[in-house]
Amino acid sequence: MSVVVPCHNEMGNLSALVEGIHRALGPVGLSYEIVVTDDGSTDGSWDVLKELAAADPRLRAQRFVTNCGESAASWAGIQVARGGTIVTIDADLQNDPADIPRLLTALDRADCVCGTRLGSRGRGDGVVRVASSRIANWVRIRLSGDDVTDAGCTYRAFRRECIARIRFFRGMHRFLPTLIRMDGFTVAEVAIANRPRASGESHYGIRNRVFSSFVDLLAVRWMRSRAVRWEIQERANP
């Protein structure tokens, strides 16, 4: 399996994140790798990643020339990931790596499993961030018709085939479960922890959680209304 991590200015969290992933997956007994994409960090994150990778053959790191955003960093990591199962997790340590085994277990009943922080948001985020997330989720559910309760949470596990026909666009990380469902796969949710940020600064607020994603939401709504799923019944001379 592959744990894919987008990273932007998270120098103070990377060592603990990698250690936490190893601690969570060690008892599971699966072969795994960690793929981190540095999204043009300016705080020394890349130096930390190079140092960690030099001592850890299961850690693979790549760096963007310029900052391209979370969707691009996540997608770039997914493209080079080697695992048949992919887990995406933020680098800010608000997602607890200890929840990874729970996501993997839930893949027994769904093709894609999304973490939801509805029961834990208040323990890890301030009032503004909680409010902006609730507004964004309410708007997304009303306009998209999808019932994923915490689309802003990108802590997910899914089978590689779920993203085989998905095309990248800016902001797609918020809508990945909807896009996966549109291709006929099943999606489930699992409650996860939401921890306070220990280092660095949040990159999100009302402006980029609600307003910046609104156009993307309209595009996804249009895609959903026009989507056609097809399946080959049989072939001659395949």
pLDDT tens digits, 109-137: 999 999 998 755 555 455 545 555 555 55
pLDDT tens track for 166-199: 888 877 788 888 889 888 999 999 999 988 767 6
Complete domains list, the chain, with CATH = 2-226 (3.90.550.10)
Q: Check residue 76 and give its pLDDT.
A: 96
Contact indicator for 190, 101 with CB cutoff of 8 Å: no
Q: Are strands 112-116 and 187-191 parallel, antiparallel or unpaired?
A: parallel
Q: What is the mean pLDDT of residues 72-97?
A: 96
Q: What is the mean pLDDT of residues 140-153?
A: 66
pLDDT tens track for 164-173: 988 888 777 8
Residue 63 sits at the vertex; the CA angle it makes with 62 and 64, to the nearest 5 degrees, is: 130
Q: Check residue 124 and give its pLDDT.
A: 47
pLDDT averaged over the chain? 84
Q: Distance (Å, rounded) from C-alpha 103 to C-alpha 39?
A: 25
Q: Which residue has the higher pLDDT, 39 or 150?
A: 39
Residue 213 has pLDDT above 60, yes or no: yes
Tell me, rounded to whole angstroms, the distance of Cα 74 from its chain centroid.
7
- If DSSP states are collapsed to H, E and C, what string results for the chain? CEEEEEECCCCCCHHHHHHHHHHHHHHHCCCCEEEEEECCCCCCHHHHHHHHHHHCCCEEEEECCCCCCHHHHHHHHHHHCCCCEEEECCCCCCCCHHHHHHHHHHCCCCCEEEEECCCCHHHHCCHHHHHHHHHHHHHHHHHHCCCCCCCCCCCEEEEHHHHCCCCCCCCHHHCHHHHHHHCCCCEEEEECCCCCCCCCCCCCCHHHHHHCCHHHHHHHHHHHHHCCCCCCCCCCCC
Q: Check residue 216 and give its pLDDT.
A: 67
pLDDT > 90 fraction of the chain, expressed in percent and rounded: 57
Q: What is the mean pLDDT of residues 205-210?
A: 53
Q: Distance (Å, rounded) from C-alpha 137 to C-alpha 142?
A: 9
Contact indicator for 113, 176 with CB cutoff of 8 Å: no
φ and ψ of 117, to 5 deg: -105, 20
User: Which residues are registered as beta bridge partners of 116?
Assistant: 191
pLDDT > 70 fraction of the chain, expressed in percent and rounded: 74
Q: Distance (Å, rounded) from C-alpha 160 to C-alpha 26?
A: 22
Q: Are strands 85-88 and 156-159 parallel, antiparallel or unpaired?
A: antiparallel
Closest CA to 118 of 108, 130, 110, 129: 130
Residue 205 has pLDDT above 70, yes or no: no
